[in-house]
Amino acid sequence: MRGARVPLACALLVACPAFLQADEPRHLKVALHIHSTISTGTVAPAAIAALANQAGLDAVVFTDSALRRWEYGLWPARAWIRRVVEQPSVLTFGAKRYLDTLRSLSTPELLVLPGLEAAPFYSWRRSPFDRRGGQIRGWNQHLLVFGLEDPRAIRTLPLNAFDPYQGDRGAAPYQRVIEAVTAQGGLVFWAHPETGHVGEHGPVEDYTDPYPHLLELTSGYHGFAVTYRDKLAFVEAGGVWDRLLAAYCAGRRRQPVWILGELDWRKPEEHPLDRVVTMVMASERTAEAVLRALRTGRMWVVFRIGRQAPVLHRFEARALTGHATAGIGESIAPTGPLRIQVSGRRGSPEPGQARVFLIRDGAVLQMEEVTAEEFDLVWTDDAPPARGFYRAVFQGPAGLIYTNPIFVR
Ligand SMILES: [Zn+2]
């Protein structure tokens, strides 16, 4: 293994969009997981689109809550003493009206995509020792759903399909929603798996533990999202994400698990719309191109901490012999040593250490501190795995970057 910086020529080529070839994908800045006044947000959809324009985003993906309905059955007489509470959601607003409202906000500058946040299940717990009237559990275990074009597919999602009085049902309610969405050609990503929740819900307590284990117990979904408030242990080298990717490489999972950045945004006072963005490699600024990129892992995640977020120009694997190359979300055949390149920009000049990590099969293969504003790191892996993956992480004072993997297979 040897490390070498490639000087000027390469850095100039990737830093300057004018040099990009016509068939290079565009890098769209996309804000994902946004709630409007249609569900739990405080800002109307048109005003969110205006904020997104101001923030310089190329696309926003709304994910208003699909259904917000709970039943409190009073023990021991729940069969006839029960209270149903329903709050605003996509289904109370109307699925077709939701799709039409959001699509009508798209302009040549800003693409607006309708998605959903689905809470497939909660269970009800009541014990004589509860201080409050009881506890609903697991309501904040959420899935993000994209690309459902047909309002009927939204209306018929199997939400709250399991009896809440029978206790925890493990992965089954989530697996059922994943299958319903993918059967309709939609995309499903787990939302905020590291986020637990303790709150109040009317007269009862609302309790959810973090749920990384559900990603290992379910299949057929496209990935997961990370947000700024997470511990991000999930995406550390050798964490749950790397285990899922290793399972895919070993043939124990049928599809890869991609990373997305999510805001879980409800109001502008919490944080700006560009605090977490997903950079999407799309051939054009259309819903189809963005959804295709999300399905195939052609994206990476940027958290902005400083004034200007760090930038990734390129993460690429290239065979030393022959012409094979692979970028984010792609695969390269194992034909001998590989040259791995990570280039980018540190972001705004807050003091502090900035480092780039190259992770191979769940372990840190290379780590390098970057001090210059622009960085361009090239490593050679003399013995790449026959089946495996590489991914890159940037950690600096101005922000964080997580790439999706490049597979060797
Ligand atoms: Zn959520």
Are 166 and 152 contained in the same domain? yes
Q: Where among 297, 331, 358 does a domain terminate?
A: 297
φ, ψ for residue 313, nearest 5 deg: -90, -45
Closest Cα partner for 238 from 359, 395, 355?
Answer: 359
Cα(394) to centroid of ligand 1, in Å? 26
CATH of the domain at 88: 3.20.20.140
CA–CA dist 216, 307 (Å, integer): 36
Cα(261) to centroid of ligand 1, in Å? 13
* Structural domain of 400: 1-24+306-409
pLDDT over 70 (residue 52) = yes
Are 340 and 247 contained in the same domain? no
Are 98 and 214 contained in the same domain? yes
Mean pLDDT for the stretch of residues 286-315 = 97
CATH of the domain at 2: 2.60.40.10
Cα(326) to centroid of ligand 1, in Å? 33
Mean pLDDT for the stretch of residues 297-305 = 97
Are 263 and 341 contained in the same domain? no
Least confident of 122-136, 185-199, 226-240, 278-292: 122-136
Are 101 and 162 contained in the same domain? yes
What is the model's pLDDT at position 127?
67
Which alpha helices (H) appear in 75-212, and where do they start and end?
90-93, 95-103, 151-155, 172-183
Cα(377) to centroid of ligand 1, in Å? 37
Q: What residues have their beta carbon closer than 5 A to ion ligand 1?
A: 142, 191
Are 14 and 32 contained in the same domain? no
Are 198 and 67 contained in the same domain? yes
Cα(285) to centroid of ligand 1, in Å? 27
pLDDT over 70 (residue 241) = yes
pLDDT digits (tens, 9 = 90+) for 352-402: 899 999 999 999 999 999 999 999 999 999 999 999 999 999 999 999 999
* 196 close to 229: Cβ distance less than 8 angstroms: no
Are 177 and 290 contained in the same domain? yes
- List CB contacts of 48: < 8 A, sequence separation 6 or more: 34, 36, 41, 60, 62, 273
Are 82 and 200 contained in the same domain? yes
Q: Where among 260, 277, 297 does a domain terminate?
A: 297
Which alpha helices (H) appear in 25-171, and where do they start and end?
45-54, 90-93, 95-103, 151-155
- 32 confidence band (pLDDT: 50, 70, 90): very high
Residue 399: alpha-carbon gap to chain centroid: 17
Cα(16) to centroid of ligand 1, in Å? 38
Are 354 and 253 contained in the same domain? no
Are 187 and 293 contained in the same domain? yes
Cα(142) to centroid of ligand 1, in Å? 5
pLDDT digits (tens, 9 = 90+) for 86-120: 999 999 999 999 999 999 999 999 999 999 999 99
Q: Total structural domains in the chain? A: 2
pTM of the model: 0.92
Cα(195) to centroid of ligand 1, in Å? 9
Cα(159) to centroid of ligand 1, in Å? 14
Q: Where among 273, 297, 321 does a domain terminate?
A: 297
Instruction: Name the helix (H) or strand (E) containing 137.
Output: strand 135-137
254/74: higher pLDDT? 254
What is the model's pLDDT at position 233?
92
What is the model's pLDDT at position 12?
38
DSSP 318-367: EESSSS-EEETT-EE---S-EEEEEEEE--S--SS-EEEEEEETTEEEEE
Cα(355) to centroid of ligand 1, in Å? 31
405/13: higher pLDDT? 405
What is the model's pLDDT at position 86?
93
What is the model's pLDDT at position 173?
98
Are 393 and 374 contained in the same domain? yes
pLDDT over 70 (residue 27) = yes
Mean pLDDT for the stretch of residues 322-336 = 93
What is the model's pLDDT at position 111?
98
Q: Over pLDDT 90: what percentage of the chain? A: 79
